[in-house]
Amino acid sequence: MKRRSVLLGGLGAVVLGGALLRPKNNGAPHNDYFRALNDELKKNGPMRPSLVIDLDRLDHNIDLVKNSVARVPNRHYRIVEKSLPSAGLIDYIAKRAGTNRLMSFHQPFLNIDAQTRPDSDLLVGKPLPVRSAEIFYQQHKGSFDPSRQLQWLNDTPEHLQQYLQLAKGLNTKLRINIEIDVGLHRGGVNNEETLGAMLQIIEANPQHLEFSGFMGYDPHAGMAVPSIIGTHEELFAKGMSIYQRFADYTRAQHPKLWSDKLTLNAAGSPTYHLHEAETLSNDISVGTGLLKPTHYDLDTLANHVPAIYIATPVLKATGPVMIPGLDNKSKIFSWWDVNQRQTFFIYGGYWMADYESPKGMQINTIYGRSTNQEIANASNSVGLKVDDQVFLRPTQSEFVLLQFGDLLAVRGGKIVDRWPVYQQTG
């Protein structure tokens, strides 16, 4: 088929064999799944941008993780809180998965976790500035005991010395988990000399520091990478050999610090199931994979299903696209491209998300983006009306979940609960 490109005042349109571009939607605005959500949100929803969590789909994903972790004896599942920053959501996952272990990445969230889940086991997921740790202790209240239930992640001898001084100033003991680089190359200990220096500091200060284990985060082994770099299994095996080397070094050189009570954390959503092939790690972290936004459409998560959507009402339906300044001359766009014959302005917009339903909705990059009333174009066949919901699928979860107020938990297409999200400051 012959392809011709036509430029209109610097704006491109494409014709295949002289025919107008075909519509991207040839049926009803929503399939049965989104039609049920649309009806429910129009009747019982807040009629503003909302974040929908599908509990039926979430259950499916939780069970996959739970069953995978259970295949290795004495292994535990740890919920990655930054990807699921809502007390109601975390409580739901913890109950179904049967775990009290959390990985926290943000000081205000860490304080919330300690206060609202006094029986939890908390592992900090990144090396926080020592001032952040100090603020945690200043704001901490409740029965949660940090000296037994909290592990601070650390990555260098210099950073560890700062935490040692904090422990001395507070007259307390800090449990230290050491971040190791197993191939991601985003920091962490990468040689025995550095590891030895950190273990020596801990061993020399038993009244203030306690070695609690390792964290080896390995998502790179499960992401889409060129085959020349290696298969998932090859990258995973390489990372675990590094982990094993550091474990062996610690056992041999600092045997007093080693015990079967250590937390040997590993994985991440893209790789958790690969860890069924090893028995060294005893603590597996998964967060975003439970919701599966678009950036987690990976072959390693092929059995997971999307469980998170943004829903927002149509505010205006204005017909064929009209570009400011071109005015009536804009008709050429809707004549040339049938997918610009309907224009909708939605409530909000410019999220880290892609249009999911109705199929055929598209951003108009010429008109421009908006966080207030975003424009979306489609063909006449989408059949949307004012107050109908448009559904988008987030590209990630951790920041997106914090933008919409209460999460709407749905089951069978019906709202069954509303869960507040964490506050960013505190």
Give the domain range for residue 329: 3-30+306-396
List, for residues 75-97, the tens digit of each pLDDT value. Answer: 999 999 999 999 999 999 999 99
Do 188 and 62 fall within a single domain? yes
Q: Tell me: pLDDT of 363 over 80.
A: yes
* pLDDT at residue 98, rounded to an integer: 98
CATH code, 173: 3.20.20.10
pLDDT of amino acid 106? 96
Query: 22 pLDDT band (50/70/90 cuts)?
Result: low
Range from 170-174, 224-228, 267-271 carrying the lowest mean pLDDT: 224-228
Mean pLDDT of the chain: 90
Lowest mean pLDDT among 220-224, 280-284, 370-374: 220-224
Question: Are 100 and 242 members of one domain?
Answer: yes
Long-range contacts of 101-106 (CB under 8 A, 24+ apart): 101/76, 101/77, 101/283, 102/78, 103/78, 103/79, 103/265, 103/285, 103/287, 105/81, 106/82, 106/424
At residue 329, the pLDDT reads 60
Looking at the structure, do residues 18 and 98 belong to the same domain, yes or no? no
Q: Are 143 and 241 found together in one domain?
A: yes
Same domain, 232 and 378: no
> Would residue 25 count as lying in a domain?
yes
Does 410 reside within a domain? Answer: no
The fraction of the chain above a pLDDT of 70, given in percent, is: 89
Does residue 11 sit within a domain? Answer: yes
SS (H, E, C) the chain: CCEEEEEECCEEEEEECCECECCCCCCCCCCHHHHHHHHHHHHHCCCCCEEEEEHHHHHHHHHHHHHHHHCCCCCEEEEEHHHCCCHHHHHHHHHHHCCCEEEECCHHHHHHHHHHCCCCEEEECCCCCHHHHHHHHHHCCCCCCHHHHEEEEECCHHHHHHHHHHHHHHCCCEEEEEEECCCCCCCCECCHHHHHHHHHHHHHCCCCEEEEEEEEECHHHCCCCCCCCCCHHHHHHHHHHHHHHHHHHHHHHCHHHCCCCCEEEEECCCCHHHHHHCCCCCEEEECHHHCCCHHHCCHHHCCCCCCEEEEEEEEEECCCCCCCCCHHHHHHHHHHEHHHCEEEEECECCCCEEEEECCCCEECCCCCCCCCECEEEECHHHCCCCCCEEEEEECCCCCHHHHCCCEEEEECCEEEEEECCCCCCC
First to last CA, the chain: 61
- Cβ proximity of 196 and 253 under 8 Å: yes
Query: What are the pLDDT digits (tens) for 4-19?
Result: 332 223 333 333 333 3
- pLDDT number for residue 364: 85
**Contact by Cβ (8 Å): 273, 267:** no
Picking from 262, 290, 318, the residue at the C-terminal end of a domain is 290
Helices 55-70 and 87-97, axial angle in degrees (round to 10): 50
Counting the structural domains of the chain, the total is 2
The length of the chain, given as a count of residues:
426
- Which of 290, 324, 345 is the last residue in one of the domains? 290
Residues 131 and 262 in one domain: yes
> pLDDT tens digits for 93-124?
999 999 999 999 999 999 999 999 999 999 99
Name, of 13-27, 35-49, 228-242, 337-351, the range with top average pLDDT: 35-49
On whether both 81 and 8 belong to a single domain, the answer is no
**Would 425 be classed as within a structural domain?**
no
> Both 142 and 218 in a single domain?
yes
What pLDDT is attached to residue 18? 35
pLDDT digits over 387-425, tens only?
999 999 999 999 999 999 999 999 999 999 999 999 887
- The pLDDT assigned to 407 comes to 98
87 lies in the same domain as 232: yes
Evaluate whether residue 421 is within a structural domain. no
In a domain, residue 407? The reply is: no
Question: Tell me: the pLDDT tens digits for 285-329?
Answer: 999 999 999 999 999 999 999 999 999 999 999 887 767 766 566
Residue 106 shares a structural domain with residue 80:
yes
185, part of any domain: yes
Is pLDDT at 225 greater than 80 in this prediction?
Answer: no
Same structural domain for residues 132 and 183? yes
Mean pLDDT of all residues in 238-245: 97
Q: Which pLDDT tens digit goes with each residue over 31-87?
A: 999 999 999 999 999 999 999 999 999 999 999 999 999 999 999 999 999 999 999
- State which of 231, 260, 290 marks the end of a domain: 290
Nearest to 76 by CA among 89, 65, 92, 60: 65
Amino acid 333: pLDDT: 59
Regarding whether 10 and 69 lie in a shared domain, the answer is: no
pTM here is 0.90
CA distance 73 to 396: 32
CB neighbour list of residue 410: distance below 8 Å, 6 or more residues apart: 37, 40, 52, 53, 54, 55, 416
pLDDT of residue 26: 54
> Is 404 inside any structural domain?
no
Instruction: Give the Cα separation of 270 and 398 in Å (integer).
Output: 16
Looking at residue 6, its pLDDT comes to: 29
Q: What are phi and psi of 39, to 5 degrees?
A: -65, -40
pLDDT of residue 322: 66
